[in-house]
Structures are given as C-alpha cells and as structure tokens.
Structure 1
Amino acid sequence: MKHIYILAFSLALVACGNSEKNKESVVEEAVNSNDIEITQSQFTSENMQLGTLEEQVFNEEIKTSGMIDVPPHNKASVSAFMGGYITKTPLLIGDKVRKGQLLVTLENPEFVEIQQQYLEVSEQLNYLKSEYNRQKTLFDEKITSEKNYLKAEGTYKSSLAQYNGLRKKLSMMNISAASVEQGKITSTVNLYATIDGFVTKVNVSNGTYVSPADVILEIVDTNHIHLELSVFEKDILKVNKGQKIRFKIPEASNETFEAEVHLVGTTIDEINRSVKVHAHIINEEQTNFIVGMFVEAHIITNSATSFALPKEAILELEDSFYALIIAKKENNTFHFKKIKLDLGAQNENYATILNADALKNKDILIKGGFILLNEGGE
C-alpha cells in the first residue's frame, strides 16, 4: 500500500508539472508569436469569452466639486427686531414649518414702553391736528400771526411723523397698532416663519437673551435644491449652459446622479481662481439630498461615438497593446492572431480603437486574455 501512495503522488507531481508547462508555453507563445493556440478545454476552464467591436460614447469631461444648496430666497434666518428674552421656543431641528407659523416668543419691558409712547402720541395727535386746522383758518382770515400758525403746523407734523414711525415699529414687532389704541398692551412679541421649510438651526433655549444681531433659528425650503460647483479658471471657457453633469455624493452613496448647467458665474474667486457654476438636478423630486452635502461632479463638455473594446480585451505586451482575433477553429482548438492596437480616448471600462478597420467583423477574445498574462507572472 505504501508503494501505491508513492506512485500516485509521483504521478500527481508529473501532471502538475505538465499543466504548468502548458500554461507557460501559451504565455510564451502570446509574447513571441502572432499565432496563439488555445484548446477548447482551456477556453472553457478559464471562462474566456468572444465578442466584437462596439460603438461607445466617449465624453470630454471637467472634474470639479461643490455642494448641494438652495437659492437664497429659499433660506430664512430668523432674528428679533428688538432684543428680548426667549419665553417660548417649541421647535426642534428637522421640524417642518409653514409660512406664518409661530416660531418663538420674546419678552422685554421695552416692548411696553414703545406701546405706551405710541398710545400717548396717538391721543395727542387728534388735539394737535385740530389746533393746526384752527390756526390755519385764523391765519387765512388774517386773525392770528404767521408765527402761531407755523408753530401749530410744526408741532402737528412732528407728532404725525412720530406716530407713523411708532406704528411702523409696532408692525415690525408683530404688535397690532389697533389693539394698542384699544388699550391692549403686551410685554411679549411673537416671531413667525416667513417661508415654508424645515428648521435647520436652533441657537436658543427658554430664558436666552437675544439681540437684533443674533440669529435665533434658520429655515431652509428644500423644494428646489441645486448644485453649486467651483470650476477652475483654466476650464471655465469650456463650460456652457445646458451641458450635462454626472455627480456623486461620495460620503453617502456610490450612485451616480444627473444635473444640467443652468448658470455660469461671471467673476473669479481671487483666492482659488475658480468660478461658481449653478446646476439644476434632474429628477430632484426622486432624491433625498440634504443641503450642504459635498459632491464630486464631472461636467460633460463634448461627446463622440467611436469603435471601442472593453479594457479587459486589450493585452499589454512589451509596452504595446494587442487584441486576439480568431483566425480559425479546428480540432477543438482556437487559433488566435494578435492584432496590434492604436488606442485613443478611454473611459472607466472601454478604450477607443483608432485602427478599428483591422477588427471589424472579427471575433475577438474579450474576456480571459489577462489570464494568460497573470499566469505568465506566477
């Protein structure tokens, strides 16, 4: 039994040695000869595949980057017209709001003082108007002096300007002037949403004092999102309205999305020598982008259709490129012929064949050719 095992092991070694010699001979033939023979069993075991030349679209592209954004009128920063203390802030980041919806409530004694001033001026105005009209009539009838008439006119018009100013200030504070005239004075002011959208920032909590310069919260309307890209000065003359864009969100997905150039900036950023390009997203309603997402984009500046081969079908031998075409098949053996290639434009998967006439209507080895090279390197 021991001798049988030794014999079997020896035969296995001989078989492996013959297999390696067959592989090496094929690789050596691929490098040194224009005619290569591959058996049917080799063809099948290595999952080789035949194909033909294909017409492919090759794009000239500009690589750029940018972010998901919205137009300026789709953003709103909420601030108080006058300073005050926050007494009510019912919203959280992500909450959806409608135009006119209550956002926050502020309280400040100064609000009361402004309403008191308005009420006082409002009460005086009727008397001052009546006195101005009386003095005007007397002056017209030469009964009173011009000095008294001008004094009454100045006092009335000064109070009228103060009245209109305070009334406008109340309007900006969202306080009803009519209610104040009825004696209803409030110490609180409500701030309301000026657009539909989602709350993206909340910078306060109950009890926080805010000044007119402070941003209380921000709202963004995502109904129209777009791409805001930065294109370097050297490439900007190639960019025009209507050009197609392919872009990805590298941090969130491998999916490729489409957009279209809508506006090209007319000024150059002096720091990085780039120009802003505004692009509209195609089928934006089918996406779920978030404002501020980083994007990598390719602007397609030109397209051309050419005959091409998959890169897997192109063999590189001694700094030259080749394809293998079937010369004939007989006795379960493929007879391949090497054709030297002149390569042109390339993309991720295909390469243009400039001497395509040599390959037209030919059966080409498009899969499995690299196995010959890999085996030769083992």
Structure 2
Amino acid sequence: MKNNILIISLLCASLLSCNKTKTENHHVHESEEQVILSEKQVASVGIDLDTIPLIMMGKNIKAHGQIAVPPSFNASVTTLIGGNIQSIKVKEGDKVYKGQVLATIIHPDIAKVQTEYIKAYNEMNYLKKEYEREQTLYGAKLSAGKTFQKAESEYRAAKAVVEGYKVQLRQLHMSPERILNGIIYDHITITAPIKGYIQEVPVHIGQYVDNGTPIFNIVDNSQLHADLMVYEKDIPYIHAGQLVKLKLTADPDNEYTGKVETIGKSFEEDPKALHIHVELDRKSNIMMPKMYLTGEIYTDPQTKTAMKDDAIIEEDGKNYIFMATTKDDHIIFNPVEIVKGETDNGYTEIKLTKDLPKGSKFVQNNAYYIIAEMKKSETSHEH
C-alpha cells in the first residue's frame, strides 16, 4: 500500500513538472514573437526603416499671427503732382529695382511748374544784378543802407524760390539744368523707391490720380518675417533666440522654422497680447504679407530620442516599437518594449527598456501593419 502511494506521488510530481515546463516555454515564445516579411512586401506597404531619430522637443507655446514685412521694406508709390496715367510699365508680381520707371503721368500743370521755374530763375537773376549794383553803390557811399538792404532781401527771397522749384523738379525726376536750356518735359515718371515685387496696381491708363493717391505697392519679400501674438499668461516664458515652428494656413503641408528676434514693448488690450518678431530660417515663393499662420514657440527645447506616433503600438498596457533585421531578401521584425515620454507635433519621446546594438534599425511608420501580421501568425498557430 505504501509503495502504491509513493508511485502515485511521483507521477503527480512529474505531471506538475511537465505542465510548468510547457507554461514557461509558451511564455518565452510570446516574448520572442516575430514577423518575417519579404523586402517587396515592406516596400509595397510603404514602411520606412531607420535608426531612432533625434528630435528637438520641449515645452511649447502656441501662437498665431501673420507674415509681415518691416515698414522700410514696404512702399506705397504715389505721385507728387496730380495727372492722368499715360503708361504703366509693370504688372502685379513683377520684380523691380530702386529707381526703375513704373509709369508716366501727363497734365498741364507739369508744363506750368517748369515755366514758373524759368520765370522765377530769370527774376532771381534780375534781382541779383540789382543787389550787386546797390552793393557797389553802398560801398562807395553813393546809396543809402536801406536801399541796399531791400535789394539784398529781394534777391535772397527770389533765390530761395528758385531753390524750392529745383527741389520740386528733381522730386518729379526733371533736370532743372535741361529746363533752363529750353527742354520742357511733357510728362513725369513714377519710379520705384525700393527694390521688391509689385504687389498691387489699383490704377489704369487714362485714370486721373491726385497727388498722394497710391498707384503701386512694392514689397521686398527678402525681408519677410512672422509677426506672432503671444497672450499675457505666456509672456514671462518668451525671450529672444527661442526656436519657433510655423505653418502657413495656405501651405499646411510644409513646416517652417525661425527664431524669436524681438519682443514688442506695446501691450494690446484686446486681445491681451504682445507682438513678437520671428526671423525665418527660410522663405518660400508662396509667402506674402498678411498671410495667416500658426506657430509653436519652444521655451526649453531639448534633443530627444523620439518616434512618429504611428511607429508605436500599445498591447496589454505596454508600448512597443519594431526592430528590423535584414536577412537575405527578407526582413525580420521583433517587438521592443519602450517607455513613452512627452509628445510633440506627431512625435513621442521614447526610452528603451534594454540595450540594443548600435545602429539598429526600426520601423518608422505604419506599425499597425506589423502588429496585424503578428496577430495573423498567432491565430494560425492556435489552429
């Protein structure tokens, strides 16, 4: 009887040991789960493989604003004298240089100012001779001082009038010297005060324009910057030199970067915000003043290991990425457990739970396809 009990006990112990071994072996199998795909399959799905990238991440402040240009690089072109548009030499979008002729204007007053200059010049010369004659007589004590002073005053006043006409004519791009030689201009030219691009032409040929009426608008796009509004609560965290990532409303697929250059000193009440000037690292042809944009200001940027959100999968409360190893014309994918950190603009900071060979490559996107293949494999094993 005792021998039978002993044999039964040994059999039970043996069975328990077998079950334990089977359980442990199943656990190891799960931890070493892998998927093997051909290189052609990987390419067709559009899966990218690379090392874990380093991404600039940190606390950021969201802001919105517009593309802007400094006042000295934005010119509204007007005429100093009223007249009719005779010709227009440029169109919207044209690149122009400082001093380039943009249009011509005709009007009777253009000839009038030239004839008045000639008249004033001749009057000045007559008074000059009178002044010189009275000066000689006064020096010889043959004329009263009062007469000499009057001649001097009249000459100096006439000279000032002539100088005033000269300034006006040069502003109208006319040569006073040529006018005195009998060359009368029948039109005036409108020239570009700065280099840049023609943004607007709100006039047409034959139209009458008063002095001061905008005829063209020129913008030097090489000086474009971002003008962002930072709300009151975020102002203490902003300083010059901080990284800014920007997206144009008109170009949402491209990201631009820049740095905070200056911070405004005038606080706006509605909304309670401050303007900041962001110098752009690069510009594009699509950028124009007044275009809306959104920005993120990085107050404490740090370089961190991070992956795109669609390169990370979650299973049973744990997070994984997939390491890829190439063998012949196939690629072996193994899950690697990670710990997630902060997220930023489609990327999530990751920390590996174990050391891996330097230069290991990982799935950079579409990780859902790998996990789907893995689950298919598990299902087939169960059957």
1:288 aligned residue: 285
Q: TM-score, normalised by structure 1?
A: 0.71
Q: TM-score, normalised by structure 2?
A: 0.70
2:96 aligned residue: 97
**SS class of match (1:185):** coil
Deviations 1:50-92 (A, max 9, x none): xx99986531111112222332222221100111111111221
Alpha-carbon distance change, 207 to 73 in structure 1, aligned in 2, over 3 angstroms: same
Alpha-carbon distance change, 156 to 185 in structure 1, aligned in 2, over 3 angstroms: same
Q: CA deviation at 1:303?
A: 2.4
Contact 1:315-1:370 at 8 Å conserved across structures: no
Q: CA deviation at 1:288?
A: 2.1
Structure 2: distance between partners of 1:112 and 1:303: 65
2:298 aligned residue: 300
Percent identity between the aligned chains? 28
**SS class of match (1:266):** strand
Q: How does 1:1-378 map to 2 (within 5 A)?
A: 58-284=57-283, 287-292=284-289, 293-304=291-302, 313=312, 315=314, 321-323=317-319, 345-351=342-348, 359-361=353-355, 367=367
Structure 2: distance between partners of 1:192 and 1:53: 56
Deviations 1:293-325 (A, max 9, x none): 3222111111245677875656487xxx54479
2:324 aligned residue: none
Contact 2:243-2:297 at 8 Å conserved across structures: yes
Q: CA deviation at 1:215?
A: 0.2
Q: CA deviation at 1:129?
A: 0.9
Q: CA deviation at 1:42?
A: 9.9
**SS class of match (1:162):** helix
Structure 1: distance between partners of 2:279 and 2:230: 16
Contact 1:107-1:189 at 8 Å conserved across structures: yes
The aligned length equals 318
Contact 1:70-1:291 at 8 Å conserved across structures: no
Aligned-residue RMSD, C-alpha: 3.9
Q: CA deviation at 1:370?
A: 8.3
**SS class of match (2:156):** helix
Structure 1: distance between partners of 2:194 and 2:157: 37
- Listed as ranges, the gaps of 5+ residues in structure 2 are 1-26, 322-336, 357-362, 377-383
**SS class of match (1:235):** helix
Deviations 1:340-365 (A, max 9, x none): x9865323445557xx69x3459xxx
Contact 2:256-2:282 at 8 Å conserved across structures: no
